[in-house]
Structure 1
Amino acid sequence: MSDTNKVKTAGRPRKFSVNEGIAKAMALFHARGYDDVGVAELSSTIGITATSLYAAYGSKLGLFERALANYVECSGTFVGEALSRAGSAEELLRKLLRGAATAYTEYPGRSGCMVLDGELMTSDTRASNLIRENVVRVRSAIADRLRALGVTDAERKADIAILLMRGISASARTGSSRESLLDAADRMAHLAT
């Protein structure tokens, strides 16, 4: 299937990239959350009509789901790297928290984590469920890796990791610098293990 769809707008055929549309929507959802971004704004930002948006993505929720998956794939790589490279619980937590501090401060105007902050930025049950599925998946992967490292209280430590990542996300969103978050990540990793 081609990445480019022909879409009619104002009587003229127009090409747009489905993947570019997802990336543009992701930036909006990341910055302001699911509830604060409307179909009209999404359509305008992507450069298509609302009818074309529904034709390409099914619905606002369908576009959000694809944007969320794109965010996890692009910005969440630090989680996979931490899980595969850490040799101890402290190293895993440090890599997760430092990765979060770096990823969550990477893009001016949309700091924080689209997933971890996303639950707080929507009252839509379907969007919230999509977000929660991602959080549960990451938490389970962290707990599994901790068990593989011989940690007996892996579930509790995984909960702590998610809690600390949420804190880093909230701090990034409210303006904390990357340097201060990296310093805090090192300190928290040591104290939490």
Structure 2
Amino acid sequence: MTTKPRGRPRSFDRLTALEQATMAFWEHGYETTSVSDLTRAMGISAPSLYAAFGDKKALFEEVVEAYAVSYGAYGGRAFAQEPTARGALGRMLREAAEVFTDPSHPRGCLMISAAINCSTPEVEEALRARRNDNLASFEARIQRDVDAGELPAGTDAGALARLYGAVLQGMSQQARDGATRTELEAVAEAAMSAWPSPGPAVGRS
């Protein structure tokens, strides 16, 4: 005899609902996306949202995790696959130009744009921590190349990491403002032209 499963079966696909929530947060940011906005975008009721995902903050945390391994995974791939910091950062910026302007989803970077005007401390702090982690990874990779002689010994790895972090954040905002992929690729190329040339330590003759 077949036993009926206990409980009421879920009437929606969880992964699809999560993707729809991602689009809503990506387009409107965390603060201005209400639970009503989310339930409308996801096609579910508020009780279903709470049962499946918890509250709005818990849902956003899950969205960010999913975004990091999907739309936002280009940076990690670049750092894993490119042999030098220059190659990794250049590839990251070029691929960001493509992702940030892809017409199949909202423009820019969710983790950058969602933090704008965010007044929920835990959310703002979590997004800031992710961005700072990215800067730390940029710096560590650059310093590795300095130590290996790929970059001049006097290169300030922290300042260089912040430069390319600022370029990435600026590209996200420019994409939100309507910049094209071609325009952002030109920004990426201009940024890479500032990369230090291999050579003797700064200040030595």
Q: State the TM-score bracket (shorter-chain normalisation).
A: 0.7 to 0.9
| Cα pair 1:78 1:96 within 8 Å, conserved | yes
| Cα pair 1:32 1:121 within 8 Å, conserved | no
Structure 2 equivalent of residue 102 of structure 1:
98
SS of corresponding position for 1:176: coil
Deviation at 1:159, TM superposition (A): 0.9
Deviation at 1:104, TM superposition (A): 0.7
Amino acid at match of 1:175: G
Deviation at 1:52, TM superposition (A): 1.6
Distance 1:23 1:174 in 2: 23
Q: In the TM superposition, what whole-angstrom CA distance separates every residue of 1:17-41 from its partner, at most 9, and x where no partner exists?
A: 2221111001000011011111112
Structure 2 equivalent of residue 113 of structure 1:
109
Structure 1 equivalent of residue 131 of structure 2:
135
Work out which of the two has the higher radius of gyration on C-alpha atoms and give 1 or 2: 2
Deviation at 1:133, TM superposition (A): 2.0
Distance 1:85 1:123 in 2: 37
Structure 2 equivalent of residue 3 of structure 1:
none
Distance 1:19 1:133 in 2: 26
| Cα pair 1:89 1:149 within 8 Å, conserved | yes
Structure 2 equivalent of residue 42 of structure 1:
38
Distance 1:33 1:56 in 2: 21
Amino acid at match of 2:185: L
Could you tell me the percent identity over the aligned residues?
Answer: 27
Distance 1:89 1:54 in 2: 43
Structure 2 equivalent of residue 124 of structure 1:
120
Structure 1 equivalent of residue 71 of structure 2:
75
Structure 2 alignment gaps of length 5 or more: 1-5, 197-205
Superposed structure 1 runs of 4+ greater than 6 Å apart: none
Q: In the TM superposition, what whole-angstrom CA distance separates every residue of 1:96-116 from its partner, at most 9, and x where no partner exists?
A: 211211111113561011112
Amino acid at match of 2:99: A
Structure 1 equivalent of residue 163 of structure 2:
160
State TM-score, norm by structure 2. Answer: 0.82
Distance 1:179 1:64 in 2: 31
Deviation at 1:77, TM superposition (A): 1.8
Please point out which of 179, 184, 187 is paired with 1:184.
187
SS of corresponding position for 1:123: coil
Deviation at 1:180, TM superposition (A): 1.0
Distance 1:63 1:187 in 2: 38
| Cα pair 2:79 2:89 within 8 Å, conserved | no
SS of corresponding position for 1:149: helix
Distance 1:182 1:146 in 2: 22
SS of corresponding position for 1:112: coil
| Cα pair 2:24 2:37 within 8 Å, conserved | no
SS of corresponding position for 1:191: coil
| Cα pair 1:112 1:170 within 8 Å, conserved | yes
Distance 1:95 1:53 in 2: 38
Aligned pair count reads: 184
Structure 1 alignment gaps of length 5 or more: 1-5
